Amino acid sequence: MLPHSGEIAALGCAFLWAATSFVWAAVGRDASAAAITAFKAVVGFALFTGIVLATTGSPWPTGLSPRAPAVLALSGVIGLALGDACYFVALASLGPRRALLLLLLAPPLTAVLAVPALGETIGALGWAGIALTMAGIAAVQLEHAPESAGAPIPARRLWIGAGAGFLGCLGQAIQSLLTKSVLVEGPGLPQVVQVRLGAAALFLVVAGLLSGSLAAWVAPFARRPGTLGRGLAASVMGTVVGLFLMTYSQKAIEVGLSNTLTSTSPLFGLLLARVVQGERVSARAVAGTAVAVGGVALVFLE
């Protein structure tokens, strides 16, 4: 394994997620958040099934331990289906600024839970890196928040949003721990991602059928070739390549550090917005980015 390959893979995942977020934003003008979530899971599962078939000769993993499929399926449903649902509830209840800031709890929560669950330990440099990276990301997100994001929120909606956001963070932590517990057994990475996406896709399709929403989810992709093309491209880069890199990173390094580095997507988004769209970058955003980069450097030194 190459030195720091796990850290590099996590940053590569963060970059791809930032890049594809611009594509998903365009898709989101035609399709709902639920439709996009289901689309990503179904397309990702289909593509990973092809990869597993091409590399192993079987369309379904054959080298997993008896417990692994159930653990990975639970991880997929929690992280790729329920976790996204909680995030969207938090987003609708709290607004983008508060929801995104709340979700920054996920990496440190993962690191804390990994100590009793997996026996992982992080040194002082690693914890300092996590803290600096999260602080820098928070500064960048606060800088680019809409002014209306600071408006008062009714108490009931605040509690609902905060609860959903915390459950989203907890779901991200649990899915990472479940996945890592299988990764230490040494299975192939495509098989691990395939099972997780398959479980999430099945869960979401069944939910769509039971709620009567599935046809509405499919319609934008079926009627608009441009939406379908953009969705497929973003699924290949963000879901297939991105999830593969994230899984590799979680296997190579501590999950708390891996999740910290994959959380740097907003920093790459800021850079891409400046380069691609010519958006102005303020001094505070630059300072926040510098702090986060310092945190990333400490994670590499850990």
- The residues spanned by each domain of the chain are 5-301
CB 109 within 8 A of CB 170: yes
Higher-pLDDT residue of 156 and 227 is: 227
Q: Which distant-in-sequence residues (6+ apart) come within 8 Å of 55 by Cβ?
A: 188, 190
Question: pTM for this one?
Answer: 0.92
pLDDT tens, position by position, 8-54 = 999 999 999 999 988 998 999 999 989 999 999 999 999 999 999 99
pLDDT surpassing 70 at residue 268: yes
Q: Residue 145's pLDDT is what?
A: 52
Please enumerate, as own/partner, the contacts of 148-152 that have beta carbons within 8 Å and a separation of 24 or more. Answer: 148/95, 149/95, 149/96, 149/97, 149/98, 150/97, 151/95
Q: Where is pLDDT greater, at 148 or 95?
A: 95
Question: What is the average pLDDT score of the chain?
Answer: 90
Residue type, 68: A
Closest CA to 253 of 67, 13, 70, 84: 13
Report whether pLDDT(3) > 90: no
Residue 199 pLDDT > 50, yes or no?
yes
- Determine the Cα angle at 103 with ends 169 and 27, to 5°: 105
Least confident of 55-64, 151-160, 259-268: 151-160
Q: What digits encode the pLDDT tens for the residues 88-132?
A: 888 778 877 778 788 889 999 999 999 999 999 899 999 999 999
Cα 9 from chain centroid (whole Å): 14
**What number of other Cβ atoms are within 10 A of residue 150's Cβ?**
12
CA distance 272 to 22: 9
d(CA 17, CA 104): 16
Per-residue confidence (pLDDT) for residue 302, from 0 to 100 = 79
